[in-house]
Amino acid sequence: MLVSNIESFVFRVIKDWNDFATLKEDWQKLLVQSDADNLFLTWEWINCWRITQGKLIKPLIIVIQDSQGIFAIAPFYIQEYRLANLLTYQALRFVGDKGSGSEYSNFIVKKENSIALKSRLWEYLLSPEVKPCWDFIWFTNVKAWAEGGQTLLQSLASVKGLNCNHRNVEFAPTPLNDFSTDFLPKLSKSLRTNIRQTTRRLDKLGSWEMLTCKDDDEISELLEQLFSLHNKHWLHSGLGTFERRPELADFYRLFVPLALKKGWLRLLRLESHGEIQAMQLGYVYNNEFLAIQEGFNPEFIPGIGQVLRYYSFTHCQKEGLSCYDFLGVYTDHKRRWLAEKKIGANLFIWQTKIKNIPFTVKKIWPTGRYLTAL
């Protein structure tokens, strides 16, 4: 752990997960005081992620504090990249950005002094203590339309010595405040018809019901059922998410039981004659629903996923939630469920040095064939 005094502040650079564990108490207190409080920035989410990623993940977490406590955190980890099989780079990536489904990355700082504190964190990346540790930063899924995302981008723009390329990313939240009654009439005629017809077919088959998970004893079995349904649903177009990314399933197995205890979990299932035919995994945080994963039996009644979605929206209304957030990627399906297109950002940031000239000459992103993670 490196320590350096600047003015009345103390900067710490945490490079060991044991030191990260000591932040637990202060982390959540600071998060709820920030302009970017969301589930993906909670200590619980990030701690579960680092456990499932293994010991090879090297943290680089910048903390600003004084005698009163911590008031700014920039949580990164180090990832090695190679450019065209010639040059090797040390990249800073945002903790939790792979293998967990994390979105809405941001620095965690006290809201009342957000831009100034985030600027300090950006500036410290160019300090003698930290600058040698990285070549570029890959910062994804910034909620650019919200206050926290705006202060992050404004603070970055104010710091000389950091070059940045920006790429738009689409998100898809559906505001619920306008729906005081059943929102079904607001949907398109074809979607309303599909939901009603599928519901009638369910009724003809006999007993069926919507259930939520409230018991820790059943969570493991239900998760495995979700994985199975999800993979079965996507089998026709390739492997499902959980078969392609087993580390994601490991993360869910660790985080979901914790989310149930915290009151965040919403695991909804549709059962017909006692057999699960469709499931949805989501979380509620800050009065918003986050839609994470779904799965349904493609050999059952067509349209079963739409019925599940409708009841999920209904549950959110009953809870008085303000938003049903589909999260990343705006699609026609989400538009049909009244989602609004919001524009976020992915940021590719690099410091000025000879090694980084290719980034200045040509827009290169760490998602293509030239610049790849090792």
pTM recorded for the entire structure: 0.92
- Domain borders along the chain are 2-168+345-373, 177-321
Q: Which two tokens stand for residue 368?
A: 């293509």
Instruction: Please state, in angstroms and rounded to a whole number, the distance separating the CA atoms of residues 214 and 218.
Output: 8
Q: Looking at residue 128, what DSSP letter applies?
A: T
Of the options 3.30.70.270, 3.50.50.60, 3.30.950.10, 3.40.630.30, the CATH number for the domain spanning 177-321? 3.40.630.30
- Give the residue ranges of DSSP H helices in the chain: 17-21, 24-32, 43-53, 114-124, 147-157, 189-205, 219-234, 241-244, 246-262, 304-319, 332-336, 357-361
Phi-psi region of 263 (alpha: psi -120 to 50; beta: other; left: phi over 0): left
- Which residue in this structure is represented by tokens 């003698």? 128
Asked whether 160 and 124 are in contact (CB, 8 A), the reply is no
- The reply to whether domains 2-168+345-373 and 177-321 share a CATH topology is yes
Asked whether 159 and 350 are in contact (CB, 8 A), the reply is no
pLDDT the model gives residue 238: 55
Residue 75 buriedness (CB in 10 A; 0-12 / 13-18 / 19+): buried
Neighbours of 223 (CB within 10 A): 20
28, 74, 151 from 70: Cα distances, Å: 11, 12, 19
pLDDT the model gives residue 7: 56
Residues ≥6 apart with Cβ < 8 Å to 195? 184, 187, 303, 306, 307, 310
pLDDT the model gives residue 23: 92
Q: Alpha carbon 145 to chain centroid distance?
A: 16
- What is the assigned CATH class of domain 2-168+345-373? alpha beta
Task: Give me the tens of pLDDT residue by residue for the chain, a chain 374 residues long.
Answer: 444 444 578 999 999 998 998 999 999 999 999 999 999 999 999 999 999 987 778 999 999 998 788 999 999 999 999 998 889 999 999 999 988 889 999 999 999 999 999 999 999 999 999 999 999 999 999 999 999 999 999 999 999 999 999 999 999 999 998 777 778 888 889 999 999 999 999 999 999 999 998 888 899 999 999 998 888 877 655 555 666 677 888 999 999 999 999 999 999 999 999 999 999 999 999 999 999 999 999 889 999 999 999 999 999 999 999 999 999 899 999 999 999 999 999 999 999 999 999 999 988 888 878 888 88
Question: CA 180, 181, 187, 191 torsion: positive or negative?
Answer: positive
Asked whether 279 and 254 are in contact (CB, 8 A), the reply is no
Question: CA 274, 278, 279, 280 torsion: positive or negative?
Answer: negative
Asked whether 257 and 319 are in contact (CB, 8 A), the reply is no
pLDDT the model gives residue 151: 97
